[in-house]
Amino acid sequence: MNRITVKTSSKQYDVCIGYGILSNLQSIIENFTPKVSKIVIISDDKVANFYLEDVKNQVAHLTNIDSYIFPNGEESKNFAIYEKCLEFCFESKLDRSSLIIALGGGVVGDLAGFVAATYMRGIRFIQIPTTLLAHDSAIGGKVAINLPKAKNIVGAFYQPELVLYELNFLKTLPIEEWRSGFAEIIKEALISSKENINWLIDSIQSLENIEPNVIEKCVEMGINVKNQIVSEDERENGVRAFLNLGHTLGHAIEAYLGYSKTTHGEAIAFGTLFSIYLSEQLFETDLSFALFLSWFKKLDYPVYLNLDIPSMIELMKQDKKNVEQKINYVLLNDFGVPKICEVEESFLKEQLKCFLTEIIK
């Protein structure tokens, strides 16, 4: 089991990564102070079918356990489900010594984490990610729910007690979820160093049947990059915004299509490709856009050609990085050299149109 320690201004905690490490959960929780009075596991109906009983069995001897299961999908990250989770915690008689376990991917972690952050003004929670995407979302304490037209707009910064990343859980992921999670690893490589992104391109030409040691190295690389940034800037007042590379257009695509029509990471991958293209145009630099376009196609990332550009611009104006609806974009001066730039609306429209034309050549 590998441990990465996250040190933010509000809390220090471990991220445990490895195959077969779920068996450590009971001993870890036994060492919590104060002693855990009760546990509620929050998960979705897909993940629960695979792993809920495994997790329950690991903590069954510690205290009373309840579980709340909600429908799988980004559309569940809303006020209605959030309220039902809070009501369930109240009916389960959780107190300030209780613990919430978020068992699932990014949706579960965001929602359960926000429940933990707000129930009784904050109780402890653990992230147990079950997707590749959650290597990113489970680290750093961003917890949130969506509005119909704005993703993660209602939330908090609230750090977990622990992230336990059982890599065996990734074995049941469908291929679209591998693409979704790998998009965030690409992002972390791009903003960290040329060496990281070169290693990634050289090591992975398909997202099927990846060697376990390569998966572990990818996850550790992504988490180390995220850790370095969130430890310096917990509340996104500076460099943490670099983690939004690809997300301005990606979030707009999710909102435009509807959250159930594409995975988060697949939309982010398209947004990242556009960020590379836009960086080349704005900074007059060579970031090998053609190489990345070819690589993304080889990895079977979807393209979104039927986007209404005025609608995309309006949705991008709602991004949390913006001030007075002026679009601030995370771009790359070079690999490992991210930069936030205010991009003129007319220039953005023109470049998005050219980008969509370039994609289909």
Determine the pLDDT at residue 11: 95
Same domain, 13 and 145: yes
Same domain, 145 and 194: no
The yes-or-no answer on residue 251 being catalytic is yes
The yes-or-no answer on residue 46 being catalytic is no
Report whether the peptide linkage leading into residue 34 is cis, meaning its omega lies within 30 degrees of zero.
Answer: yes
The yes-or-no answer on residue 142 being catalytic is yes
Same domain, 193 and 123: no
Determine the pLDDT at residue 291: 97
The yes-or-no answer on residue 240 being catalytic is yes
Q: Report d(CA 65, CA 211) in Å as an integer.
A: 36
Q: Report d(CA 182, CA 186) in Å as an integer.
A: 6
Of 135, 232, 149, nearest to 184 (Cα)? 135
Count how many domains the chain has: 2
Tell me how many degrees the CA angle 281-352-176 measures, rounded to the nearest 5: 110
Catalytic residue among 142, 151, 179, 187: 142
Task: Supply the range of the domain harboring residue 220.
Answer: 175-359
Residue where a domain terminates, one of 125, 143, 172: 172
Catalytic residue among 38, 124, 135, 251: 251
Determine the pLDDT at residue 151: 84
Q: Report d(CA 294, CA 205) in Å as an integer.
A: 11
β-sheet bridge partners, residue 328: 342
Determine the pLDDT at residue 21: 98
Same domain, 63 and 133: yes
Determine the pLDDT at residue 320: 75
Residue where a domain terminates, one of 146, 172, 198: 172
Of 194, 182, 192, 190, nearest to 225 (Cα)? 192
Segment holding 280, helix H or strand E: helix 264-283
Query: What does the pLDDT look like over 39-54, one tens digit per residue?
Result: 999 999 999 999 999 9
The yes-or-no answer on residue 284 being catalytic is no
Same domain, 163 and 250: no
Tokens of 164: 């336990």
Q: How many CA atoms lie less than 13 Å away from 223 in the CB half-sphere?
A: 27
Other Cβ atoms closer than 10 A to 49: 13
Strand boundaries in 86-130, DSSP class E: 99-104, 124-129
Same domain, 37 and 130: yes
Same domain, 152 and 301: no
Catalytic residue among 184, 188, 254, 266: 184
Determine the pLDDT at residue 148: 84
Tell me how many degrees the CA angle 87-90-95 measures, rounded to the nearest 5: 145
Same domain, 197 and 111: no
Catalytic residue among 72, 146, 152, 244: 244
CATH number at residue 294: 1.20.1090.10
Residue where a domain terminates, one of 109, 138, 172: 172
Tell me how many degrees the CA angle 316-320-326 measures, rounded to the nearest 5: 55
The yes-or-no answer on residue 236 being catalytic is yes
CATH number at residue 17: 3.40.50.1970
For residue 250, give Cα distances in angstroms to 260, 262, 306. Answer: 14, 10, 14
For residue 35, give Cα distances in angstroms to 25, 32, 99, 158, 342. Answer: 14, 6, 10, 20, 49
| CA quadruple 49, 54, 57, 59: dihedral sign | negative
Determine the pLDDT at residue 261: 86
Same domain, 139 and 228: no
The yes-or-no answer on residue 244 being catalytic is yes
Same domain, 191 and 330: yes
Same domain, 31 and 159: yes
Residues of the chain with pLDDT under 50: none
The yes-or-no answer on residue 297 being catalytic is no
Same domain, 78 and 216: no
Catalytic residue among 77, 151, 264, 266: 264
